[in-house]
Amino acid sequence: MNILITGIHGFVGSNLVLSLKERHVLYGLDIVAPEKEGVMRTYSWEELEGIEGIDAIVHLAGKAHDTKNEALAETYFTINTGLTQKVFDFFMKSSAKKFIFFSSVKAAADFVVGDKLTEEVIPTPKGPYGESKIAAENYILEQLKVENGELKLQEKQVYILRPCMIHGPGNKGNLNLLYSVVKKGLPWPLGDFENRRSFTSVDNLCYVVNGLIEKEVPSGIYHMADDEALSTNELIREMCEVMGKKAHIWRMNKGLMKECAGLGTLLRLPLNLERLKKLTENYVVSNEKIKRALGIERMPVTAVEGLRKTIRSFTNCKF
């Protein structure tokens, strides 16, 4: 198949190229156009309307969640919503049969109510990142006929994929920040909080995209996560084991840590109430729907295997 991947030179795009290049002809759409093995050509955004002969589109390009909260809200909507509208309009007019939009679990919920986040949740995003992603989802759904929650298309298939935190060799994000802390031997003082969080190995993500492209999967919204959820304490232990270090996890009293975080909020210190909540909350995402759709019982890579691969890649990076 001829596949067009937007944001092809980013972290996920680069991994998709490695995964797809042996069986498909790949084209890119990006703001930069360096030569990449396995990519026939990278188009600029101005060239979009002239692209022909595409069978499937994977829309990755977007404004990532800014953990420092420095990005303007308008930027998220211009990129995450506006570009998605542009690419989806092109898809609907083109001969392409499949469209995969990379949204985010943050489009569904900023925090999880209950045991797991499923596709049945009524979206309640918080902040411009999640709000811009759900706006893009809604635009797609509005262009399609929706009956009883199912997308009804005659010749085209549309998938809205909502991954949770994606990681793998070459990524930049919260895992890198945590790794830099652990690498320095600094103690982790929040060991008394036993939270559970879902992650998405980029290898599992590429496997799912392969399945959506090559199999007959019903159109719809699908959450994406590894099979197992891990606590931050487990994550730190895995990091230390890979580095050959001893884990320093302090089980400081929860009440005391909340008081410290409250003080941090007043004094604008790194550990504040909002950051404490993010570091210690549960955020477990169900991947049952996508596994049923692909006809599999388990993802090919376990959560621990994927994280260890990511952590090993950090050893060659400078933080």
Res 319: pLDDT = 47
Residue 94 domain-assigned?
Answer: yes
Res 149: pLDDT = 53
**Range of weakest confidence among 25-34, 140-149, 193-202, 257-266:** 140-149
CA distances from 272 to 11, 178, 262, 264 (A): 30, 16, 6, 5
Torsion 184-190-193-197 (CA) sign: negative
Residue bearing the bigger pLDDT, 205 or 280 = 205
Residue 190 domain-assigned?
Answer: no
Does the pLDDT value for residue 278 go beyond 90? no
Q: Residue 173 CB: number of other CB atoms within 10 A?
A: 14
Res 173: pLDDT = 75
Residue bearing the bigger pLDDT, 312 or 319 = 312
Res 152: pLDDT = 56
CATH of the domain at 297: 3.40.50.720
Q: State the pLDDT confidence band at 178, using cuts at 50, 70 and 90.
A: confident
Average pLDDT score, the chain: 91
Does the pLDDT value for residue 316 go beyond 70? no
Residue 232 domain-assigned?
Answer: no
Res 175: pLDDT = 83
Q: What is the mean pLDDT of residues 198-209?
A: 97
Residue bearing the bigger pLDDT, 67 or 315 = 315
Res 192: pLDDT = 92
Quote the CA–CA distance of 213 and 161 in Å, as a whole number. Answer: 13
Contact present, 26 and 20 (Cβ < 8 Å): yes
Residue 105 domain-assigned?
Answer: yes
Domain that holds residue 39: 2-172+198-227+284-301
Quote the CA–CA distance of 306 and 309 in Å, as a whole number. Answer: 5
Quote the CA–CA distance of 273 and 81 in Å, as a whole number. Answer: 30
Residue bearing the bigger pLDDT, 83 or 319 = 83
- Provide the token pair at 179: 């790794």
> Among residues of the chain, what percentage have pLDDT more than 90?
73
Residue 18 domain-assigned?
Answer: yes
Range from 99-113, 159-173, 263-277 that averages highest in pLDDT: 99-113
- Distance between terminal CA atoms of the chain? 39
Count: domains in the chain: 1
SS3 of the chain: the string is: CEEEEECCCCHHHHHHHHHHCCCCEEEEECCCCCCCCCEEEEECHHHHHHCCCCCEEEECCCCCCCCCCCCCHHHHHHHHHHHHHHHHHHHHHCCCCEEEEECCHHHCECCCCCCCECCCCCCECCCHHHHHHHHHHHHHHHHCEEECCEEECCCCEEEEEEECCEECCCCCCHHHHHHHHHHCCCCECECCCCCCECCEEHHHHHHHHHHHHHCCCCCEEEEECCCCCECHHHHHHHHHHHHCCCCCECECCHHHHHHHHHHHHHHCCCCCHHHHHHHHCCECECCHHHHHHHCCCCCCCCHHHHHHHHHHHHCCCCC
Q: Which residues 6+ apart lie within 8 Å of 5 measured at CB?
A: 13, 16, 17, 26, 27, 28, 29, 57, 58, 60
Quote the CA–CA distance of 166 and 203 in Å, as a whole number. Answer: 10
Contact present, 281 and 195 (Cβ < 8 Å): yes
Residue 297 domain-assigned?
Answer: yes
pLDDT digit string (tens) for 17-46?
999 999 999 999 999 888 999 999 999 999
| Apex 209 CA angle, 135 and 118, nearest 5 | 55
